[in-house]
Amino acid sequence: MTKLKPHFLSANDHEMLVDYHVHSNYNDDAQGTVEECIQASLAKGLTSIAITNHVWKTTKWIANFINEARYLRTKYKCNLLIGSEAKIINMNGEVDIPSQYLEDIELLMGALHHLPTNDDYVWLRSESLSSSKVAEVVRDATLNLISRNEVNVVAHPLALYYQKHATSFPVEFLEDIVKAASMEKIALEVHNSKHPLPKEVFRRLIHLCVRYEVPMCIGSDAHSPSEIGNLNYATIQRTIDSASRGKADDQ
C-alpha cells in the first residue's frame, strides 16, 4: 500500500497551502465526514490535508477510517494524509494509540492535553503549580515524546502552557525542544489556529526551526469542514521568509 509523505514546510519551501490538523466526525466533538472534509479542502484550493482524528488505545474505528481515507483519496485524486492526534499519557512521552496502527498512519501527531505524571492517565493539576514548574513538565514530556521517535509531529507544542500562563515560556526550554526535534527529524506544529501562540513566541519558534532545520507543520485544528484552511498563510510565509533571511545573514 502506497504511503503518502507529509509535505512539511522549511526555509526553502514555499508550497504553503496545506492543512495538517483536521478532525472529522469519527470524533464526537467534530462534524463533517471524511468526504466532506476533502470537498471543503478542494474548494479552498488546498494542495494537501491530513485528517488527524483524536485516538485512544481503545479506539475501534481506526481500520475503518484508514480504508475510507484510502478509497476517497483515490476517488478524488487528492493528497489526503491518514493522520491521528494521540495524546501523551505519561511522563515518558508514550502516546494513546493502538500500536498495530503505527505503521499505517502517515502523519502521527503527539499532543500534550494534560500535564502527565509517571503513571498512565494520572494528571497534575496545573492550578496548584507555578508557571516555571508547568514549563518544566511541558519541556520534559515533550523531549521524551520526541526521543521515542514514534510520532512525526509534535502538535501545538506550547498550547498547554499558554492556556493558563501569561509569563513567557522560557526561551532556553523552547530551544531544547527545537534541538531535540532537529536531531530526530520530527516536525513541530508552529501554527495551530485553535491555539495561536503570542506573536513574539510564534516568531521565535519559527526562527529556531529555521536555524536548526526542523520541519514545520501548520494546521487549523478544524472541527468542522468550514474551518478547514482557516490559517493566515501569508503571515506564516512572511515569518519563515524573514527567519530564512536572518539565517542567511548570520552565515
Could you list the residues that contact Zn ion (CB under 5 A)? 85, 111, 221
CB of residue 242 vs Zn ion: minimum separation in angstroms? Answer: 27
Q: What is the rounded distance in angstroms from the CA atom of residue 217 to the CA atom of residue 219?
A: 7
- For residue 54, give the H/E element and its range: strand 48-55
CB of residue 86 vs Zn ion: minimum separation in angstroms? Answer: 10
CB of residue 12 vs Zn ion: minimum separation in angstroms? Answer: 28
- For residue 40, give the H/E element and its range: helix 34-43
CB of residue 146 vs Zn ion: minimum separation in angstroms? Answer: 17
Which CB, 68 or 221, lies closer to Zn ion? Answer: 221
CB atoms within 10 A of CB 168: 15
Which CB, 11 or 84, lies closer to Zn ion? Answer: 84
Which CB, 111 or 243, lies closer to Zn ion? Answer: 111
C-alpha pair distances (Å), 37 with each of 45, 166, 218, 237? 13, 34, 17, 24
Q: What is the rounded distance in angstroms from the CA atom of residue 161 to the CA atom of residue 138?
A: 7
Residues 6+ apart with CB under 8 A from 73: 4, 38, 79, 80
CB of residue 137 vs Zn ion: minimum separation in angstroms? Answer: 17
Q: What is the rounded distance in angstroms from the CA atom of residue 50 to the CA atom of residue 183?
A: 24
C-alpha pair distances (Å), 91 with each of 70, 86, 146, 165? 34, 14, 12, 20
Which CB, 83 or 215, lies closer to Zn ion? Answer: 83
Which CB, 94 or 221, lies closer to Zn ion? Answer: 221
CB of residue 211 vs Zn ion: minimum separation in angstroms? Answer: 26
Which CB, 48 or 192, lies closer to Zn ion? Answer: 192
Residues 6+ apart with CB under 8 A from 122: 116
